[in-house]
C-alpha cells in the first residue's frame, strides 16, 4: 500500500516521499533541497529507489546532485522536453513508470503551461502535479503559455473527482484569498478557509487535497460559472467569449494585482 509523506523545504515547498513501509523503500518527488530528504530517509529508515521530477525549476531539482552523491546510481525520471542535466530516464506523454520495488505504477501526462515541458505522474488514485494545479489555484506561467496551462488544467479536470492531488507548495490560504476576490459570495470558500487554518494551526499541511472540491472553490476551474465570468469581464472591461478567455483574464489579474 502506498504511503506519501510531505517533506517541508524552503519557505513553502513540499517534497513528496512515496514509500512502501513494508519494503522500507521510497521514491522522491521534486527534491529541490537534499538536506531535508536525507534527514527524512534516515529518520524513516527508508532506502530511495528513484527520483521523480516534474519540471526544471531550481526549487524542484536543486537537491538531485547531493542525493546522487549519497545514493550513486539512483535513477532520475523527468520530462523529455526540458533540459535537466541529471535526468537519465526522460519520460513523455503516455509512458508508464513502473516502480516495481514499491509495487506502484504511474502514467505520465505532459501538462505544459507553468513550464513548456512540465509533466505529472498519475496513478494509485493520486496525482503528483508539480506546479500545474494548486489547492484553489494554479501555477504562474513562465516559459509555457496561458493557452497551454488552461488546457492542462482541463485535462486534470477529467480525472476522477476523488483523486488525491499532491502539489508542491503551501499556497492554499493565499489562493483562497484571491478566490474570494473573484467570488466574494461563495460560501464554500469560507468553509475551506476555516478547514485550512485548522490544519495549519495543528501543524499539518493543507495538501494533498481532493480534486472534486476544486470545482467548488478554484476560480481557474470555474471559468464557466456566471459569477466568475462576470468578475473577469469587470476586470477586463470587455466581454469574454470563452472559458479560456476568462481563465487568461483571471491569471493575468492575479499576477499583476494580487501576487
- The binding site for Zn(2+) comprises 55, 57, 59-60, 114, 131, 169
Cα-Cα-Cα-Cα torsion 161, 164, 170, 171, nearest 10 degrees, comes to: -10
**Active-site positions?**
55, 57, 59-60, 114, 131, 169
Q: CA-CA distance, 163 to 242, in Å (whole number)?
A: 27
Q: CA-CA distance, 107 to 88, in Å (whole number)?
A: 18
Q: Which residues are annotated as a binding site?
A: 55, 57, 59-60, 114, 131, 169
* C-alpha cell of residue 111: 501538462
Give the full edge-to-edge strand order of the sheet including 13-20.
3-9, 13-20, 25-29, 47-52, 76-79, 89-91
Amino acid at each position: 500500500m502506498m504511503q506519501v509523506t510531505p517533506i517541508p523545504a524552503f519557505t513553502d515547498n513540499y517534497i513528496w516521499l512515496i514509500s512502501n513501509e513494508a519494503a522500507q523503500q521510497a521514491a522522491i518527488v521534486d527534491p529541490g533541497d537534499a538536506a531535508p530528504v536525507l534527514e527524512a530517509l534516515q529518520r524513516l529508515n527508508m532506502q530511495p529507489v528513484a527520483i521523480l521530477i516534474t519540471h526544471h525549476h531550481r526549487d524542484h531539482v536543486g537537491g538531485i546532485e547531493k542525493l546522487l552523491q549519497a545514493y550513486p546510481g539512483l535513477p532520475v525520471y523527468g520530462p523529455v522536453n526540458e533540459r535537466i542535466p541529471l535526468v537519465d530516464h526522460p519520460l513523455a506523454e503516455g509512458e508508464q513508470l513502473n516502480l516495481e520495488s514499491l509495487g506502484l505504477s504511474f502514467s505520465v501526462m505532459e501538462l505544459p503551461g507553468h513550464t513548456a515541458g512540465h509533466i505529472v505522474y498519475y496513478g494509485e488514485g493520486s496525482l503528483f502535479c508539480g506546479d500545474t494545479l494548486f489547492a484553489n489555484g494554479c501555477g504562474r506561467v513562465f516559459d509555457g503559455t496561458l493557452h497551454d496551462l488552461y488546457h492542462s488544467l482541463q485535462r486534470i479536470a477529467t480525472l476522477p473527482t476523488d483523486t488525491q492531488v499532491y502539489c508542491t507548495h503551501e499556497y492554499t490560504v493565499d489562493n483562497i484569498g484571491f478566490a474570494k476576490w473573484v467570488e466574494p459570495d461563495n460560501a464554500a470558500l469560507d468553509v475551506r478557509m476555516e478547514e485550512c487554518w485548522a490544519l495549519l494551526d495543528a501543524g499539518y499541511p493543507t495538501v494533498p487535497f481532493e480534486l472534486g472540491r476544486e470545482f467548488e472553490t478554484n476560480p481557474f476551474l470555474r471559468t464557466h460559472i456566471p459569477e466568475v465570468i462576470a468578475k473577469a469581464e469587470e476586470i477586463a472591461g470587455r466581454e469574454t467569449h470563452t472559458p479560456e478567455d476568462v481563465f487568461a483574464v483571471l491569471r493575468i489579474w492575479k499576477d499583476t494585482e494580487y501576487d
